[in-house]
Homo-oligomer: A and B are copies of this chain.
Amino acid sequence: MVPYLVRRWPAWCFGTSPGWWRKGPCEALVWPAGALGSEEQRRPASAPRAWGVGVAAGPACRAHSSSAGAHRVPLTQERYPVRRLPFSVVSEEDLAAFERIVPGRVITDPEELETANVDWLRTVRGCSQVLLKPRTTEEVSHILRHCHDRNVAVTPQGGNTGMVGGSVPVFDEVVISTALMNQVISFHSVSGILVCQAGCILEELSQYLEPRGFAMPLDLGAKGSCHIGGNVATNAGGLRLLRYGSLRGTVLGLEVVLADGTILDLLSSLRKDNTGYDLKQLFIGSEGTLGVITAVSILCPPKPEAVSVALLGCAGFAEILQTFGTCRRMLGETLSAFEFMDAECVQLVGHHLHLACPVQESPFYVLIETSGSNAGHDGEKLGSFLEHALASGLVTDGTVASDQRKAKALWALRERISEALSCDGYVYKYDISLPVERLYDLVMDLRARLGASAKHVVGYGHLGDGNLHLNVTSEAFSPTLLGALEPHVYAWTARQRGSVSAEHGLGFQKKNVIGYSKPPQAVDLMRALKAMLDPKGLLNPYKTLPSQA
């Protein structure tokens, strides 16, 4: 047991992010030798800390935008067809009760509330009048019991880095932030099992584990802001899923507070436990609609000793698939990422961000990462694979990064695609799971369907996980183009038995497309679960489940 205080990231760091969809002049971020960091590291000091999961709008565009006030996000209740449910309005008596439960941590200051009411993509805005910052599970329990008795709705909030408007209020729900629940409870250096409060920031957990020889089993772009509780509540995917699997396997236990304030202690630190139904799974990925996650127990893998990155050019998508198969066979257990991107992605990154691609022009590119315990062995495996891939014509050109700086530079070409897209105009974004062999067909289908009405139609993503990031750009928002895209993209995905939300969840914005990926019987059962666990519907209302007809 090594209790450890994770440094708190104060709420004022979450500044508003201006002009998300606005097309403006892009700052020229060239590729200076030795100066390449992650997107997090590169952001200007004035840019928001919140950072999205594999999504557009990097600092290059945003740094040139003007103040938040000039681009105030419309209220959700005005922009979307949604009606307030008959919850109680927070009263002075409620505020006084909250002050007794979390003294000095009842926030009603409008500026601080602004960051809690608006999602980081700046697409939705609630009008909550109060933000609570509990430090303990008992405080969360007391808050929820009070709200339950008074019929007050609540929205749990972690780092507020979600992509589907799931972590901000829709109307005046009370926001319960996990920002001060940021303690590591224990870490076992033999088993690698970490137990911590829900508000620990992912990157700080990684930093905590690093000198202890372990790593977090998940990694994603928002790591500098996102909370582990939010990661679990949204079943975050990210960059390491290919290697370490999903949170459904690595999360060993949870502590959850139910809608009526009941504390459900499922905080097991065991790899195996078959005593009854695995209740924690109910809360993983349920976006705070079934309970508030207050602590997490998670299995952490040993930190890899060596990491290598290769960027390869491929003549076609069929070759990409063959390369993936060969890769799995020859790189075996060292393969930790297999990302792909099409030629237009690389052209956009070059055009808007001035990042040069070190591999000769190709219709497709793959980025392969290996992480292992022995640099020599890993290098040999990668070398043999590359030799075979080149000799057999699977790949046409390639480069390997032998040090951290170059590896980061290669990753930048993949990670900054979304940033480049945001510089290209209005972006229509889809996060789709498909059978891997059909992954690119949707991109080609859309190119043919949209013709000149779209500026660019690009595809990239976590090929190893069957996860396509499909993006379409146009000069400005076009209802006609949107009509050509939706529901076509969802219906196409449904025909392949794909998922219309691979890793981002449904939240507020995608809840009504659930039917494209789940049959009515499943949605009915989800409603029954919600009714059972939260009969008053107080937890994160208007999210995840589709609106009732």
Contact = CB atoms under 8 A, between A and B. Distances in A.
Contacts of A525: 264, 279, 533
Contact of A264 (B278, B328, B506, B522): B522
A353 to B, nearest CB: 27
A465 interface: yes
Interface string A282-296: 101110001000000
Interface of A: 188-192, 213, 234-235, 237, 241, 245-246, 248-250, 262-266, 268-279, 281-282, 284-286, 290, 302, 304-305, 321, 324-325, 328-334, 371-374, 377, 380-381, 433-437, 462, 465-467, 497-506, 510, 513-514, 516-519, 521-523, 525-526, 528-529, 532-533, 544-545
A272 B499 contact: yes
Contact of A249 (B248, B305, B436): B248
Contacts of A523: 276
A276 B332 contact: no
Residue in A190, A249, A273, A334 whose Cβ sees the most chain B Cβ within 10 Å: A273
B372 A374 contact: no
Contact of A503 (B237, B262, B274): B274
Contact of A213 (B273, B329, B510): B329
Nearest to A332: B373
Contacts of A332: 302, 304-305, 372-374
A514 B241 contact: no
A529 B281 CA distance: 13
Given A234-B274, A272-B433, A277-B526, 15 more contacts: A190-B321, A191-B435, A191-B436, A265-B521, A269-B435, A271-B465, A273-B502, A275-B499, A275-B513, A276-B518, A276-B526, A277-B285, A277-B544, A279-B526, A333-B371
A286 B434 CA distance: 29
A245 B249 contact: yes
B277 A529 contact: yes
A189 B241 CA distance: 19
10 contacts: A266-B522, A268-B497, A271-B465, A272-B467, A276-B544, A277-B286, A279-B522, A330-B373, A332-B373, A374-B380
Given A248-B278, A328-B302, A374-B381, A273 B433 contact: yes
B276 A241 contact: no
A372 B372 CA distance: 12
A324 B192 CA distance: 11
A521 B529 CA distance: 16
A374 B373 contact: no
B274 A504 contact: yes
A148 to B, nearest CB: 15
B302 A272 contact: no
Contacts of A503: 272, 274
Contacts of A465: 271-272
A189 B269 CA distance: 35
